[in-house]
């Protein structure tokens, strides 16, 4: 292929490489201005790596890298808590439950050690645990028998399993058909808590570093415990929770927890009636203890590995994903690991900010999509350029607000080389990325003079991570809420994530201008039972009435009590119908024109809406659909509130959220300070260098005016284009 | 106008009449074949009434008929419990609540008698009642002051009011602009419990009967307590509950209740956090006691009035509406009243069956729409023929299954006479109505050999009355559920309404073939907290597994517990997502062709759906929309279950429910015994006279085949047409 010309500047770019195509890789490095190269899961570094670039990354798998060791020490397999299928006792006959029914036997096998302590049979109809003397276990068949069940009650068995196959390697193996490749094995994970894993892990890293002097950066992929990823009996995904701790458990860990915390965790604390403590569940105190316990362990052990890398003169980088459980980057132990860098995958503006905002590391890096895999890089409908554009366009909003230090791509570079127009496009993207660093002078753009607080059960721990199930995948039930953080990730506000507990303990922090509570009723994001505590309503009402701003999305503060469903219905001026107040007549009046709705069409896209009809009690309705409030504003004491029934991301909705934030904070003037006329465009102002960047977030060419500093500019922007302007 | 010819047969028809148009009325009586005439609220009987027809009805208003008495005895006004607007204490300052804020001062005034006993101030944020010593009442202003509220808590005042204006008369007065008519007064209601009302009521009726020898049938409109109908400060409807008991209360009644039941009812027992015990609320034991208490009182007193009518040689007819509270016609005291007849308004097939199925009376009568009021009978867009067609077509399905004895119309007959095509159309309807009685030989058509049970909190007491707010009005939140009873009202099944308590006490009755639970989560129709009782699930699971059929609609058995939202998710094979199991992968597979879905298009109209996504656990999915199950079937032991996400009435959905009932009962053969090929048509089979009636439920001409008794017929039916056929 003919390569595009060399770029104006170089650096900040990591390129995946592989063996056997040295000259093409050399040319590609030049075109992209790459200063680092990396291998992937399934590729190896060629010998020329070190001479091409400043830094060579290599993946390192502390939890599955040595399969000889794994096979020689089968007692060290990682464990995982699983819940059997639900079975109803159809009468008085003994009830048999095959615990592995529905699970992938290549991935899991029951772990029988001290099963009386670690397994739990539960009558789900009453919620009561069945005493161990009232059930039997057949280890040959993996079957639990309840000889005398209560007729017509549903039962489950929560059990510990051995993980026979590392989850990510299983996923890659199945996705890439590695069963046809005799060099591939099904990699078994081993648990750092189990003897003699830890001694081996330290020594193996030391040996590996000695054997690989060409590696400058150890790209830990990752540390010890994989997020929850469970396959079904057909070898297809059955359960995925990018935040899941189900595979961080073991008899050793449970014993250590009990010794330290003075109480024993039960199987139910992990299987959680089948919800497995997913982030949508309001976390139990036990689960929060477990996160803390696991995070401390992982941080301490990870630090030892980082220290070994440092002692050998290498940098330590963590991949944010795969075996990342226990390293939540906004958790209190994360900085103590001492990592030099974090690299993660960009799936949205929110996930990009999730990475670029991580505290306690020297630099951050993001891997853009598409991953160079045959599912996209094929000539039968694959669209690598389109995916590269999507990835850049969504992430750029976040990068403008808080730049990552580095960017890169991953996968099989040989596949990408077959698509010259793709190479040309990512070369442009690499240059635009470097330009942001250069032209901003290393400064962040100006933000609004108040902070935005996102209020949910997780708070700071899961900054930018609300409503995620499997990283940045689209979920029908989530996209109407994800839009809130997706918009904020590219808007000119400093965002702070606050937990209910934090607000209950310390009140609303002084620098917060507007609080947002967004989520479906009964979830950790809306709050569920936490709203039964009058103190929470008291604190927020007092704060809003004193001049604060409150934005509710969907079913904020939802907890049916005292004649209201939204406990802050007085603040919001709206409530959600529960089919209990249908006898009350409503006379909704719509005010279409308002500061908040100025960029909206008459039809407002609220996605899935609020899960039921919403009516105004005192709010002014700005958008109404089939009698249900979609957007409303309310005054409360000296403060203000805005209600959205849903807010899927779009540039119009993002702009509307920006307006809502200014209005709620009683700072309508702000939108006139820096403002673009076309809602598909955004402007970032860098006061230190007196320069602004205007970006076109759409795939169409647009013409927009930009107002700021008392001046006005008119700009024509290409599709996805951007433009830097100096201000005199 | 030129009148249509005289009908083939006469009788069974009641016509409204009025003064001043004697000859036209005489002609109309002939055309309709009317054998009875009536006046209305606002019209008077002409002297020729008795000579025209067999029977003359006259409305009689026991609770407001004598305004001289009412004005002379202001202490006898009916009372009503109301709840003030919610007010938040914005800080520590004293909180003032004007209890009448938002209410219509022409309709209500606060009733201050023993307010410490009957009024209640509640902190809605905690649910706690504020002790009477902690608030003060200013009787001049109607204002309650809480000198030291808990800051940022919401407060309400539940208070007794005097009804200054009868609700129906107020409605008619405002609707018909009677303020311009100097002969009209705002009628004040008086309470049969308050001295000297009762003595007066008995005497007044006796006197009235003596003064009106021309009246054959006393049409009580109605007895003592009006359903809940509250207007707002602008004189518009604020709250309407056709079942509401809020206006059946008084200090006298509360004292009598306490003396009899041994405990005192509180204000909260009536205002119910603002839901006022509407039928969607699962009834509290206190409210059920109140219904019983009031019904016994009303039945006993109504019986005295009926006895007076009988003693004077008159029939006693009750209008089902207006002041009907305490006379629920499926309640246990209703037959003891000794009424000859009930008349009610037909708004749908379900409301028609509600009337025709009433036990304990000699005959039933229905008033078809449209009511002869100027809102429909005008030449500026009014469509009286269209409304007459709609009314007849919807009610006819019910009348075929269980004929009413009589039919009629109401309002100002002078208005109807201005529309000759309307007179012609209702003359046809009257004849078709009589034909059903004549050609069926007085027999009911054959039903399926099993009963259908509707399971909800109300059971038999509110037969055919599920999901109604204001009689038969359409409600967005209800129509997807109303469709179930609307379909059943015209389908060949005997229907029994069962309460949860009844099933808990006695199990599922032996003759029930299929149980239906239809409703939104948390309502009395789905069940709400009743599903926390494992016994209910046990009973139904055992019954289905033994061969019973179960149909769930919307959010049946919904109560979040033990990892399931639908407590019968094992029976139904589906569950509803609560945004808590988004981590679980679903692989829905749709089987489009099935016995149950044979009449459905590929798109199934489920109305508002289930309030959230539904997924299959074990059920076979027949219809899926945007990943959410709309229709599914499941096997459970020897029994079967069908799930509908919603079932608004349409002839296709009705047919699909029929199929679901046959399939759930494992009697698929039944549809072949009597069946029409066109889903807009229905067939009723009268084995005693070996004759069937086929009806066209659509406004288009249709061609349909009819199968039955091993034979097949082909019939062409006109729009809305019907046809009787003899079977050899």
pLDDT digits (tens, 9 = 90+) for B293-306: 999 999 999 999 99
CA distance A221 to A230: 19
CB B486 within 8 Å of CB B349: yes
Tell me the pLDDT tens digit for each residue of B347-380. 899 999 999 999 999 999 999 999 998 889 999 9
CA distance A696 to A716: 10
- B583, A153: Cβ pair inside 8 Å? no
- B476, A240: Cβ pair inside 8 Å? no
pLDDT band for position A41 (cuts 50, 70, 90): low
How many C-beta atoms lie closer than 10 Å to residue A267's C-beta? Answer: 24
Least Cα separation, residue B52 to chain A (angstroms): 43
Measured CA distances, A674 to A651, A652, A671, A719 (Å): 17, 17, 6, 22
Q: How high is the ipTM of this complex?
A: 0.95
The region of weakest confidence among A699-708, B46-55, B429-438, B639-648 is B46-55
Query: How many secondary structure helices (H) and strands (E) does chain A include?
Result: 19, 36
- B124, A523: Cβ pair inside 8 Å? no
Return the half-sphere exposure (C-beta side, CA atoms, 13 A cut-off) of residue B167. Answer: 30
Least Cα separation, residue A584 to chain B (angstroms): 4
CA distance B506 to B494: 20
CA angle in degrees (0–180, nearest 5) for B499-B500-B506 = 90
Indicate whether A549 pLDDT > 70.
Answer: yes
Tell me the pLDDT tens digit for each residue of B448-465. 999 999 999 999 999 999
In chain B, the residue whose alpha carbon lies closest to the alpha carbon of A526 is B579
pLDDT band for position A447 (cuts 50, 70, 90): very high
Q: How far is CA A106 from the centre of its chain?
A: 28
Concatenate the DSSP letters of all residues of A453-495 into one string: EEEESSGGGGTT-TT-SSTT---TTTHHHHHHHHHHTTSS-EE
CB B627 within 8 Å of CB B619: no
Indicate whether B3 pLDDT > 90.
Answer: no
CA angle in degrees (0–180, nearest 5) for A48-A53-A56 = 75
Q: Does B520 touch chain A (CB under 8 A)?
A: yes
Indicate whether B53 pLDDT > 80.
Answer: yes
In chain A, the residue whose alpha carbon lies closest to the alpha carbon of B475 is A582
Please give the average per-residue pLDDT across A468-480, as a whole number: 88
CA distance A31 to B473: 70
How many C-beta atoms lie closer than 10 Å to residue A93's C-beta? Answer: 11
- B582, A281: Cβ pair inside 8 Å? no
pLDDT at residue B176, as a whole number? 80
Indicate whether B493 pLDDT > 70.
Answer: yes
Tell me the pLDDT tens digit for each residue of A236-258. 999 999 999 999 999 999 999 99
Of A154, A475, A585, the CB nearest to B237: A585
Element (DSSP H or E) covering residue A388: helix A384-401
Q: Does B580 touch chain A (CB under 8 A)?
A: yes
pLDDT at residue A50, as a whole number? 85
B323, two tokens: 């002041």
B154: which chain A residues are within 8 Å (Cβ-Cβ)?
562, 564, 570
- B477, A577: Cβ pair inside 8 Å? yes
- B585, A240: Cβ pair inside 8 Å? yes
Which of A66, A216, A322, A613 is the catalytic position? A322
CA distance A499 to A462: 10
- A86, B626: Cβ pair inside 8 Å? no
In DSSP terms, which residues pair with A722 in a beta bridge? Answer: A695
- A238, B584: Cβ pair inside 8 Å? yes
Virtual torsion, Cα A268, A270, A274, A280, nearest 10 deg: 120
**Terminal Cα distance for chain B, rounded:** 45
Indicate whether A499 pLDDT > 90.
Answer: yes
Could you say which residues from 226 to 265 on chain A have a Cβ atom under 8 Å away from some Cβ of chain B? 228, 232, 236-241, 244
Of B90, B470, B560, the CB nearest to A545: B90
Q: Does A447 touch chain B (CB under 8 A)?
A: no
Mean pLDDT value across chain B: 95
Q: Does B162 touch chain A (CB under 8 A)?
A: no
CB A458 within 8 Å of CB A281: no
Tell me the pLDDT tens digit for each residue of A643-655. 999 999 999 999 9
Least Cα separation, residue A607 to chain B (angstroms): 13
pLDDT at residue B597, as a whole number? 97
Q: Does B18 touch chain A (CB under 8 A)?
A: no
Q: Which residue has the tokens 């005008």?
A: B378
Indicate whether A1 pLDDT > 70.
Answer: no
Q: Does A469 touch chain B (CB under 8 A)?
A: yes
pLDDT at residue B1, as a whole number? 59
Of B154, B275, B570, the CB nearest to A580: B275
B588, two tokens: 């829905």
Indicate whether A623 pLDDT > 80.
Answer: yes
Of A86, A125, A541, the CB nearest to B88: A541
Kindly list the structural domains of chain A, giving each domain's residue range(s) and its CATH number in brackets, ordered by start: 13-68+195-245+283-440 (3.20.20.80), 78-163 (2.60.40.10), 451-671 (3.40.50.880), 675-726 (2.60.40.1180)
Of these ranges, A288-302, B28-42, B469-483, the one predicted with the greatest mean pLDDT is A288-302
Could you say which residues from 129 to 158 on chain A have a Cβ atom under 8 Å away from some Cβ of chain B? 150-154, 156
Calculate Rg over the CA atoms of chain A: 27
B130, two tokens: 């504020």
pLDDT at residue A681, as a whole number? 97
Q: Does A522 touch chain B (CB under 8 A)?
A: yes
In chain B, the residue whose alpha carbon lies closest to the alpha carbon of A637 is B90
CA distance A19 to A31: 19
Please give the average per-residue pLDDT across A427-435, as a whole number: 97
Percent of chain B at pLDDT > 70 equals 99
CB B86 within 8 Å of CB B158: no
Measured CA distances, B195 to A496, A536, B164 (Å): 67, 51, 18
Indicate whether A527 pLDDT > 90.
Answer: yes
pLDDT band for position B672 (cuts 50, 70, 90): confident
- A538, B125: Cβ pair inside 8 Å? yes
pLDDT at residue A172, as a whole number? 86
- B563, A273: Cβ pair inside 8 Å? yes
B122: which chain A residues are within 8 Å (Cβ-Cβ)?
562
Among B129, B482, B579, B638, most A C-beta atoms within 10 A, so best to mutate, is B579
CA distance A568 to B31: 62
Least Cα separation, residue A547 to chain B (angstroms): 12
Please give the average per-residue pLDDT across A143-171, as a whole number: 96
Indicate whether B41 pLDDT > 70.
Answer: no
Start-end of H helices in A262-284: 268-271
- B582, A475: Cβ pair inside 8 Å? yes
Q: Does B579 touch chain A (CB under 8 A)?
A: yes
Between A302 and A64, whose confidence is greater? A302
Q: Which has the closest alpha carbon to A398: A470, A438, A350, A452?
A: A350
- A125, B587: Cβ pair inside 8 Å? no
In DSSP terms, which residues pair with A699 in a beta bridge? Answer: none
């Amino acid at each position: 292929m003919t390569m595009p010309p060399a770029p104006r500047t170089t650096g900040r770019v990591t390129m995946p490489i592989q063996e056997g195509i040295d000259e093409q890789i050399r040319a590609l490095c030049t075109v992209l201005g790459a200063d680092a190269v990396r291998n992937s899961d399934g590729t190896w570094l060629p010998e020329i790596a070190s001479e091409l670039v400043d830094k060579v990354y290599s993946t390192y798998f502390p939890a599955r890298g040595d399969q000889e060791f794994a096979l020689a020490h089968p007692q060290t397999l990682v464990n995982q808590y699983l819940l059997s299928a639900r079975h109803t006792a159809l009468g008085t006959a003994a009830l048999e439950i095959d615990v592995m029914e529905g699970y992938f036997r290549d991935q899991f096998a029951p772990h029988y050690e001290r099963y009386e302590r670690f397994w739990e049979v539960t009558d789900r109809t009453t919620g009561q645990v069945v005493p161990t003397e009232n059930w039997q276990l057949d280890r040959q068949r993996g079957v639990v028998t309840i000889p005398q069940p209560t007729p017509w009650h549903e039962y489950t068995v929560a059990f510990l399993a051995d993980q026979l196959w590392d989850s990510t390697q299983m996923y890659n193996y199945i996705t890439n058909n590695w069963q046809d490749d005799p060099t591939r094995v099904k990699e078994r994970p081993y648990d750092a808590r189990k003897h003699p894993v830890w001694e081996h892990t330290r020594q193996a890293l030391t040996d590996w570093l000695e054997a690989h002097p060409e590696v400058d950066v150890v790209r830990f992929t990752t540390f010890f415990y994989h997020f929850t990823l469970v396959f079904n009996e057909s070898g297809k995904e059955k359960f995925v929770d990018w935040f899941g701790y189900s595979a961080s458990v073991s008899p050793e860990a449970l014993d250590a927890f009990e010794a330290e915390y003075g109480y024993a965790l039960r199987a139910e604390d992990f299987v959680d009636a089948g919800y497995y403590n997913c982030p949508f569940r309001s976390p139990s105190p036990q689960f929060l203890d477990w996160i803390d316990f696991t995070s401390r362990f992982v941080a301490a052990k990870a630090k030892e590995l980082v220290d070994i890398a440092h002692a050998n003169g290498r940098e330590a980088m963590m991949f944010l994903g795969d075996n990342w459980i226990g390293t939540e980057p906004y958790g209190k132990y994360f900085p103590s690991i001492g990592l030099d860098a974090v690299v993660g995958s960009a799936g949205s503006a929110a996930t990009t900010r999730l990475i670029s905002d991580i505290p306690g590391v020297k630099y951050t890096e993001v891997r853009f999509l598409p991953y160079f895999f045959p599912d996209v890089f094929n000539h039968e409908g694959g669209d690598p350029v389109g995916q590269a554009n999507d990835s850049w366009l969504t992430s750029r909003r976040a990068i403008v607000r808080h730049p990552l230090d580095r960017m890169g791509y991953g996968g099989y570079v040989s596949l990408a080389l077959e698509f010259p127009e793709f190479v040309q496009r990512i070369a442009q993207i690499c240059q635009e990325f470097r330009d942001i660093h250069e032209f901003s002078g290393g400064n962040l753009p100006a933000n609004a003079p108040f902070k935005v607080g996102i209020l949910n059960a997780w708070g700071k721990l899961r900054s930018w991570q609300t409503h995620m199930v499997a990283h940045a995948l689209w979920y029908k039930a989530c996209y109407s809420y994800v839009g809130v953080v997706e918009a904020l990730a590219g808007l000119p506000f400093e965002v702070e994530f606050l937990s209910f507990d934090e607000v209950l303990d310390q009140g609303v922090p002084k620098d917060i201008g507007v609080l947002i509570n967004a989520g479906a009723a009964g979830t950790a994001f809306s709050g569920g039972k936490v709203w039964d505590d009058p103190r929470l309503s008291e604190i927020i009402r007092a704060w809003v009435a004193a001049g604060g701003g409150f934005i509710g999305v969907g079913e904020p503060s939802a907890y049916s009590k005292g004649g209201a469903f939204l406990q802050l219905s007085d603040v919001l001026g709206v409530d959600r119908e529960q089919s209990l107040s249908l006898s009350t007549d409503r006379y909704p009046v719509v005010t279409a024109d308002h500061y908040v709705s100025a960029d909206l069409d008459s039809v407002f896209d609220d996605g899935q809406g609020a899960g039921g009809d919403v009516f105004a009690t005192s709010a002014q309705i700005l958008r109404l659909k089939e009698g249900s409030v979609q957007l409303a504003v309310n005054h409360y004491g000296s403060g203000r509130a805005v209600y959205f029934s849903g807010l899927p991301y779009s540039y119009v909705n993002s702009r509307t959220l920006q307006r809502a934030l200014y209005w709620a904070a009683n700072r309508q003037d702000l939108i006139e300070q820096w403002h673009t006329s076309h809602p598909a465009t955004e402007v970032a102002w860098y006061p230190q260098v007196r320069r602004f960047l205007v970006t076109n977030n759409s795939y169409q060419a647009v013409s927009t005016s930009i107002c700021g500093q008392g001046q006005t500019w008119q700009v024509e922007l290409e599709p996805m284009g951007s433009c830097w302007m100096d201000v005199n």
